[in-house]
Structure 1
Amino acid sequence: MRRLVLTRYDYASFGCFIAYAGCSIIIPLVLYQMSVDLGFTLQEGGLAAGGALQMGRAIPMVLSMLLSGFVAGRWGMCRSLGVASLLMGGGILCAAVAPVYAVLFLALMVTGLGEGIIEGLNTPFVENLHREEAGRYLNFSHSFWAVGIIISVLLGGWLLNRGISWRFVVGGVSLLALPPTLILLLPADGKKAYPERPERLPWQLVWKQTRDILKTPRFWLFFAAMFVAGGGEFGLTFWAASYIQLEFSASAWLGGLGTACFAGGMFLGRSVSGLLVRQEYLPHLIISTAAAGVLVCLFFPLLNAPWLLEYQQQLPWVSIFTKKWLLFLLLFLAGLCSAPFWPSVQSYCVERLPFLDSTMLFILLSCAGIPGCAFVSWMMGLFGNLIGLRNSFFIVPLCYMILLLLTVVDTVQARKQVKP
């Protein structure tokens, strides 16, 4: 197997993923402190308001994702990603100085505009550089999403634990957007320039490509798969820190450490699968990790569960469910299982539908994943108000079970088509 060959623009993509991840995870990390400061305390029914922040962020994200194909066709991918990175960093900086919940909500909507273009274009940006082995490069580049999470939650959690205001922590994350912005917007030598399309695409052609995709029945199977894959993954990412602080009475540092364990598993899973798993084995990878993810995530609602601890005298081994080390181990394993879903489902879909435009496929699939992230995060907050945040974690294995079934259905259909 050939080694990965990386260019300046691969590093720009890595930087976009790091900044995007940092801007995405920093609000969940500081949510507990922010809720007290801005008046929607989580212990007093504010879980749904916390989850609604992601819903408000997702609406402009989806809108900008839908337009990102037109934007890239008009101004090119490099310039579009550079401006989007700048917009994302500026929005999260505004969130850091928000005086009330409503201003915070609006600032995150601005952040979402930039994030939507990055989400829509960063994957096809890499795919254009490495068309022969796109699956490997996509899994490897997506692993830097986890790097951004690890950096943000460990450093942010440490700063919060030292008494630093959440506003400085959020503002500091905005600086992550600066390096990729400079790499993408500064001019490059002719031979080293990004391979943009030689001609600008008319919007009529982009619209035709979009309609062709939407008319393809098999696309909707992958659309649903992306919705639940994104929802399960980000539901864990969004609520892990608050879950640790609320259910285990832990510090912000431990909340950040738990999220870092999840991100560490994601980094390992994506980088290893990018280096070792060949394109033709992507459906096997999705099915096996989804099955493992269901089993791992079913344990989260059992941790510190009062009904289970009632049997502690008769069954001394039950006390293991009160241990923080088990929680961190489960988060790491959940990250390992969740790692391949997003890039692998996208790459597998492009492989299964080669007659459709790959850039628009990546964009429209992301338009499923982002609402999935927002919807599941909001649902977990809503159910957290009703039945407790711990029990709302049952939603995550349900998402992974649906992903497993959808992928099995597609592989069975693919085998039937191959038979003479």
Structure 2
Amino acid sequence: MARDVRPQLLTILCYAAMMCLAIGVNLLPVFLTNIGATFGGQQPLSQEELGRLGAVTFAGLVAGIAVTGPLADRFGAKPFVLLANFLMVAGLAGIAMAGDYGALLITVFMLGLGAGMLDMILSPVVAALNPERRTAAMNWLHSYFCVGSVVTVLIGMTALALDIDWRIACVALILFPLGLIAAFAPMQFPALVTEGGRTPFTALLRRAWFLGALLAIFLGGATELGMAQWLPAYAEISLGFSPVVAASGLLFFSVAMALGRMVVGMLEDQVNPFAVLAVSAATSVILFLLGAFLQNPSLALLACIAAGFSGSSLWPTMLAVAADRYPDGGASMFAVLAAFGNAGGILMPWVVGVVGDMHDLHWGIATSAIAPLLMLPLVGVLFTSLRARRLLDA
């Protein structure tokens, strides 16, 4: 029999599941070269074939987000949390046992699908469990994605250093989602909307404030992932660091992101979430420009790493303020917010590459500053609009 909802325990389990999501997103890049050698026969897999693996993983992630939102509103969160972890188990096992490239494509899609379901469903669950402290809880939740990224990279680096087969590492990681299935199974999950019923998604799309929130989280995703995707290449190509140091830059960037979200989480209700958004966006602009144009390569790299700290809270805090504004938006609202955030993460790395081809990566990284720069006035408009509405209601 299901137990009563236990908010603190279930919130902690969601934090752990966010680390599991990080495995799905970060495991493949760690072993990409080894996978290419394993499945390429006499010749390693081509760059296009390796790139296709990442594209298929992301396609699974997007599909998981798109499918889970409306279905979770109808059937509740628990079936999708359990299914997501089952898909993670199946994906990891399938990758470890795949005998050819076609089977590998199928299994990485499954892994991405499970990751996408977790990406979508964990935020509304934590928001429902913590209605009085959504900004703090959401930043803590997303900090564990960064922690999971660091742990995944460290496990992968350890396996490579000890010459452990990448398939064995995949099998070992299965224990994590299996443990989560066992932990989540007896838990009762909260309703994702209040007794007043869910606000129809079509109604949300007719509200200017919500459309502004979609644009804001798009810019937040662009701020976060533009730097994250290009930092190792920029550090190696433009700043002149070795591949090991360049890769370490991304590792420390993830650590900085985790710390930034934890700091906002520890602040609880001591600061206005819109102030957090404004300060984070403004600081990110400055650090992006310093990272792009400082003459000292070490200081430039430190500025890039620090940008992980400054921009870390943009995405989760926007989720929190949207949930505060529309507490009955349901899982569908979180799905479209996550989709827009990921869309920003798709666009900005491409823009950085285009500008890098036209000029160089210094200017490419500087271009990333456009996203947090545009976010500043938008945050002001959202805050002013919300404040005016509250005054009218009073």
Q: Could you say which TM-score interval applies, normalised by the shorter chain? A: 0.7 to 0.9
199 and 337 in structure 1: CA distance in 2 versus 1, 3 angstrom threshold: closer
Which residue of structure 1 aligns with residue 134 of structure 2?
134
- Residues 1-400 of structure 1 mapped to structure 2, 5 A cutoff: 7-31=8-32, 38-41=44-47, 55-95=55-95, 105-164=105-164, 168-169=168-169, 172-185=172-185, 187-188=186-187, 193-196=188-191, 209-244=200-235, 248=240, 250-252=242-244, 254-278=245-269, 281-302=272-293, 318=295, 320-321=296-297, 323=298, 326=299, 329-354=302-327, 356-381=328-353, 391-400=363-372
What is the CA distance between 1:50 and its match in structure 2?
Answer: 6.8
User: For the Cα contact (< 8 Å) 2:150–2:251, is it kept in 1?
Assistant: yes
Greater RCO (Cα-Cα under 8 Å, separation 6 or more) = 1
CA distance, structure 1, for counterparts of residue 117 and residue 277 of structure 2: 26
What is the CA distance between 1:17 and its match in structure 2?
Answer: 0.7
CA distance, structure 2, for counterparts of residue 113 and residue 336 of structure 1: 28
360 and 263 in structure 1: CA distance in 2 versus 1, 3 angstrom threshold: same
Q: Secondary structure at the match of 1:298?
A: helix
CA distance, structure 2, for counterparts of residue 302 and residue 174 of structure 1: 43
User: For the Cα contact (< 8 Å) 2:53–2:108, is it kept in 1?
Assistant: yes
401 and 195 in structure 1: CA distance in 2 versus 1, 3 angstrom threshold: same
User: For the Cα contact (< 8 Å) 1:266–1:335, is it kept in 2?
Assistant: yes
95 and 232 in structure 1: CA distance in 2 versus 1, 3 angstrom threshold: farther
What is the CA distance between 1:89 and its match in structure 2?
Answer: 4.0
Q: Percent identical across equivalent pairs? A: 23
Whichever residue aligns with residue 127 of structure 1, its letter is A
Which residue of structure 2 aligns with residue 313 of structure 1?
none
The farther-off stretch of 254-263 and 286-295 is: 254-263
CA distance, structure 2, for counterparts of residue 218 and residue 39 of structure 1: 47
Whichever residue aligns with residue 250 of structure 1, its letter is S
User: For the Cα contact (< 8 Å) 1:235–1:373, is it kept in 2?
Assistant: yes
409 and 168 in structure 1: CA distance in 2 versus 1, 3 angstrom threshold: farther
Whichever residue aligns with residue 84 of structure 2, its letter is A
Count of residue pairs the alignment pairs up: 381
31 and 198 in structure 1: CA distance in 2 versus 1, 3 angstrom threshold: closer
338 and 52 in structure 1: CA distance in 2 versus 1, 3 angstrom threshold: farther
CA distance, structure 2, for counterparts of residue 278 and residue 374 of structure 1: 32
Whichever residue aligns with residue 408 of structure 1, its letter is G
What is the CA distance between 1:266 and its match in structure 2?
Answer: 1.4
CA distance, structure 2, for counterparts of residue 296 and residue 418 of structure 1: 35
CA distance, structure 2, for counterparts of residue 179 and residue 124 of structure 1: 22
What is the CA distance between 1:236 and its match in structure 2?
Answer: 2.8
197 and 154 in structure 1: CA distance in 2 versus 1, 3 angstrom threshold: closer
Whichever residue aligns with residue 12 of structure 1, its letter is L
CA distance, structure 2, for counterparts of residue 34 and residue 298 of structure 1: 36
Whichever residue aligns with residue 347 of structure 1, its letter is A
CA distance, structure 2, for counterparts of residue 97 and residue 382 of structure 1: 38
CA distance, structure 1, for counterparts of residue 264 and residue 12 of structure 2: 19
- Normalised to the residue count of structure 2, the TM-score between the two structures is 0.81
Superposed CA RMSD in Å reads: 3.6
- Normalised to the residue count of structure 1, the TM-score between the two structures is 0.77
User: For the Cα contact (< 8 Å) 1:230–1:373, is it kept in 2?
Assistant: yes
User: For the Cα contact (< 8 Å) 2:18–2:148, is it kept in 1?
Assistant: yes
What is the CA distance between 1:345 and its match in structure 2?
Answer: 0.4
What is the CA distance between 1:88 and its match in structure 2?
Answer: 2.9
CA distance, structure 2, for counterparts of residue 98 and residue 173 of structure 1: 16
Whichever residue aligns with residue 375 of structure 1, its letter is L
User: For the Cα contact (< 8 Å) 1:87–1:114, is it kept in 2?
Assistant: yes
Q: Deviations over 1:9-32 (max 9, x none)?
A: 122201111111122123344456
User: For the Cα contact (< 8 Å) 1:26–1:173, is it kept in 2?
Assistant: no
CA distance, structure 2, for counterparts of residue 415 and residue 196 of structure 1: 28
User: For the Cα contact (< 8 Å) 2:291–2:302, is it kept in 1?
Assistant: no
**Structure 2 regions of 5+ residues with no counterpart?**
1-5
The farther-off stretch of 386-395 and 281-290 is: 386-395
User: For the Cα contact (< 8 Å) 1:231–1:369, is it kept in 2?
Assistant: yes
Whichever residue aligns with residue 144 of structure 2, its letter is F
The farther-off stretch of 172-181 and 218-227 is: 172-181
User: For the Cα contact (< 8 Å) 2:128–2:193, is it kept in 1?
Assistant: no
What is the CA distance between 1:73 and its match in structure 2?
Answer: 3.7
Q: Deviations over 1:223-248 (max 9, x none)?
A: 11111211321233333344445554
CA distance, structure 2, for counterparts of residue 136 and residue 99 of structure 1: 45
Q: Secondary structure at the match of 2:156?
A: helix
